[in-house]
Structure 1
Amino acid sequence: MEAKPQDPTENPNSETQSEDLPIAPFTSITLSLSTLLPTHFIFPPKTPHPTPKSLKIPNQISSLYNLTLTSPTPTKPFFKSKSTVSANPLQTPLSLNPRRPSDPSNAAAARRTSVVWFRNDLRVHDNESLSAANNESMSVLPVFCFDQRDYGKSKSGFDKTGPYRASFLIESVANLRKNLQARGSDLIVRIGKPETVITELVKAVGAEAVYAHREVSHDEVKGEERIERVLKDEGVEVKYHWGSTLYHVDDLPFKLEEMPTNYGGFREKVKGLKVRKVIEVVDQLRGLPAGGDVEVGEIPSLVDLGLNPTATMSQAKASGNACLVGGETEALERLQKFASECKSQPAKDGSNDSSVYGANFSCKISPWLAMGCLSPRSMFDELKKSASRTISAASNRKDGGDSGMNWLMYELLWRDFFRFITKKYSSAKQNNPAPVTACTSAV
């Protein structure tokens, strides 16, 4: 009489033994993701399979430990995807959510949404914050905020922002919006405190980072600190860049706190320092975020900022000076015109080093530089490309001469000196700071 097969669950030694047992009619057992789902996802086979004689069943539970399930392709239904078998499921767990690759060049590694906070960088050319956000994000929300604290009367009774500067700023913001729209983007404009406006917009679109350029004055640095505190509570990163000087702050051959307090010492330290390349603007920028339903907002007038436009026009007529037109477009046109004048100017006394001063001994581009409609690097680069003479930096000349195009480098270096020295003392806490001197004799 043939012995009846013993039920493995009744044998305490079944974990270490295996037997050839007759089983139900299936040719094989396949481990798939459908075994992890409710039974209503599994459809019975339409055609019966031939019955095998026996099946070898694994006799140790540890063999199941060596199985792992890979995640199905996200584009296919979950219950239709079969798994592959690999080692150790605890080291490669099943994940149904896409994971962000570590390679920043991969589009999937980019941030979903970022905010670009425009300040004194009202341009699309040579704008590192805009370029970085565009390269690292799926969508970008450009924002400019008219801070109410910058307008009205000061404690001394003067306008914090005069009507001329306010008009120039309004025109520059309008031109920035136009240039962004021409590249598939737009500009969100608000009136209010930046720390409040930026935070509300970040929440509305679900932004993961805010990009901005560093500034140097005391009030601007305090504004950056307020933004950082508020966004830190929201878990949003603030990424700063530098773009207001000819030389980059990271390229200086000394620490900012060790910067010489006189121009002569600064000029000697930066002798031979190279200017970084201009960042080219792309023809097509990232679009605005699809969610959040954010309105672009209207560009304010002088009345909206608490200023009197009638008085502004009467003052302009009385002085006989036409108001300057703000904006990046106007800045680039003036720069090209100035470069043409430099090119056509005859050399003095037949030499190759002629003084270049432009109209009324000035290039007349300072207002656009101050507002960030034009970067110093763009200005220097355009003159190098347009002028027929070789532009040799004054800091690279053995004699330190300031003739010819070196005059322009001389002026831009002065501008760098004042911005770096302001940054040094606005960001450092010193009880007895050393006085800042021009030391023109060293020049």
Structure 2
Amino acid sequence: MDSNTQSCENPEINSTEEQSEVSRSPFATASLSLSSLPTTLPTQFFIQPKILSLFAPTQVKVPTQASSLSSLSLSSTSPSPSPSKSSFKSTFANNPLQSPLSLAPRRPLDPSNGAAIRRASIVWFRNDLRVHDNECLYTANNESMSVLPVYCFDPRDYGKSSSGFDKTGPYRATFLVESVSDLRKNLQARGSDLVVRIGKPESVLVELAKAIGADAVYAHREVSHDEVKAEEKIEAAMKEEGVEVKYFWGSTLFHVDDLPFKLEDMPSNYGGFKEKVKGLEIRKTMEALDQLKGMPSRGDVETGDIPSLTDLGLNPTATMAQDGRQSVSATMAGGENEALQRLNKFAAECQAQPYKGSKDCSRDSIFGANFSCKISPWLAMGCLSPRFMFDELKKTANRTISATSNRNDNGSGSPDTQMNWLMFELLWRDFFRFITKKYSCAKVGTAPATACTGALA
């Protein structure tokens, strides 16, 4: 047996000499580029010496996986070709593919997966008191580990105006309180809840954001001057706290981003607006989520009580008629559930009494000039999405059209005129909201403000 074999069989031989060499050069690790490494290495690197003689040829190719090595750590700087002075047993296994050394740097996880998840977020409900077709709630739920839904009764919306009238009357306030209460029930049924406060949103939301460590606030944009000013205050307050504010649009049939013109270039008359949006596609509605993310555990935030009319500074007896009975307005219950029930009832009436009048809806029918779907209050509070309403009635119209397609209407008009009527009404609603947004965002002394003054004159 040759000397090389003896050295491999007895690794303790010449150990004194190895230790002295290592001690003289404790950092003797050499980085060898594979470009300078021969394509073949002695078989003693990979095969036990006792069975060396059983293999031929006496050299073996380095496995291709070794090409990923950028350096080899050696425990000796001895130029001797003999591997006996190299402590490979402490660095490599018999098979280099089983080496404990990493062959390539471990890649970090995709940062986009974790960056999209927020620890805690606030959903600020305003005039969107619903869980169906609510992009704000839907997005916050998908992007956050926990969600805190909040509604604020702003004291600035109550009391007397400069003209001496109630800013919010008792009937509207009652409808709003009922809608907020119904929203809380719908959120609770999905594993969440609603935090209710009486206070200015720019103060309440900042306080809640600090308590739960919120990363963002999600809300729908509004259009009136006071609502736009409130949004600006929220953005300024949250910017100081390093909290992002994300706004969405969900109060109209057409999305503001889908309009074929810039908002500042919007026609100031309904005819021009209607012509511009003709054929514009309506976005699909979003289904209500069956389960929502839980409330943040940090901060131990109390949900709070829903205020009464007295808490809001209003007289509860103002909703009573002189004879002591409730007025007709007081019998209209607020809330998403009530809105959906009324929509279903209206759709059933449409299907039971399909349109039979002329194209201008002048004949007697449930679509006549004196008829109303009576759903406007729920649309105004956001208890019902205009897109959802259009989709549901469109399904009813399609069923009606299918049922009457083989019958002669005696020239009384197309059975889908009911959808034209509905589109006509919802387009008017869109027009007023977009035109309000256009002028509420215009700044005094700028070109848009001048154009606004001229247009309104």
- TM-score, with structure 1 as normaliser: 0.73
Post-superposition Cα deviations, 1:116-172, rounded to whole Å, max 9, x if no partner, equal 000000000100000001111111111001011111111111111111110000000
Q: 2-side partners of 1:410 and 1:13: how far apart?
A: 84
| Other-structure match for 2:277 | 270
Q: 1-side partners of 2:279 and 2:258: how far apart?
A: 12
Counterpart of 1:54 (choices 72, 85, 89) is 85
CA shift in 2, pair 1:13/1:320, >3 Å: closer
Counterpart of 1:381 (choices 391, 396, 407) is 391
| Other-structure match for 2:143 | 136
Q: 1-side partners of 2:374 and 2:207: how far apart?
A: 39
Q: CA offset at residue 203 of structure 1? A: 1.1
Counterpart of 2:164 (choices 142, 153, 157) is 157
Contact 2:355 2:367 in 1 (8 A): no
Structure 1 residue 203 corresponds to structure 2 residue 203: no
Q: 2-side partners of 1:164 and 1:195: how far apart?
A: 27
| Other-structure match for 1:67 | none
Does the residue aligned with 1:200 lie in a helix, a strand or coil? helix
Q: CA offset at residue 14 of structure 1? A: 7.4
Q: Which is richer in helix?
A: 2
CA shift in 2, pair 1:436/1:417, >3 Å: farther
**Counterpart amino acid of residue 102 in structure 2:** V
In structure 1, runs of 5+ residues without a counterpart are 18-51, 58-81, 392-398, 439-443
| Other-structure match for 2:378 | 368
Moved more, 289-298 or 424-433: 424-433
CA shift in 2, pair 1:133/1:319, >3 Å: closer
Counterpart of 2:450 (choices 416, 432, 439) is 432
Contact 1:262 1:437 in 2 (8 A): no
CA shift in 2, pair 1:293/1:432, >3 Å: same
Q: 1-side partners of 2:29 and 2:393: how far apart?
A: 84
Counterpart of 1:417 (choices 425, 428, 431) is 431
Contact 1:246 1:377 in 2 (8 A): yes
**Counterpart amino acid of residue 258 in structure 1:** D
| Other-structure match for 1:327 | 335
Q: 1-side partners of 2:438 and 2:368: how far apart?
A: 33
Post-superposition Cα deviations, 1:203-260, rounded to whole Å, max 9, x if no partner, equal 1111111111010111101111111111111111111111000001111111111111
CA shift in 2, pair 1:166/1:85, >3 Å: same
CA shift in 2, pair 1:319/1:212, >3 Å: same
Q: CA offset at residue 401 of structure 1? A: 12
Contact 1:172 1:326 in 2 (8 A): yes
Instruction: For 1:7-406, list aligned pairs within 5 A.
Output: 54-55=85-86, 84-86=101-103, 101-103=111-113, 109-314=116-321, 320-323=327-330, 324-348=332-356, 356-357=366-367, 360-387=370-397, 388-390=399-401, 403-406=417-420
- TM-score, with structure 2 as normaliser: 0.71
Contact 2:136 2:219 in 1 (8 A): yes
Contact 1:115 1:207 in 2 (8 A): yes
Does the residue aligned with 1:297 lie in a helix, a strand or coil? coil
Does the residue aligned with 2:298 lie in a helix, a strand or coil? coil
Q: 1-side partners of 2:442 and 2:298: how far apart?
A: 41
Post-superposition Cα deviations, 1:252-282, rounded to whole Å, max 9, x if no partner, equal 1111111111110000000001111110011
**Counterpart amino acid of residue 124 in structure 1:** V
In structure 2, runs of 5+ residues without a counterpart are 1-13, 32-82, 89-98, 403-412
Q: 2-side partners of 1:120 and 1:386: how far apart?
A: 27
Q: 2-side partners of 1:182 and 1:16: how far apart?
A: 66
Q: Which has the larger radius of gyration?
A: 2
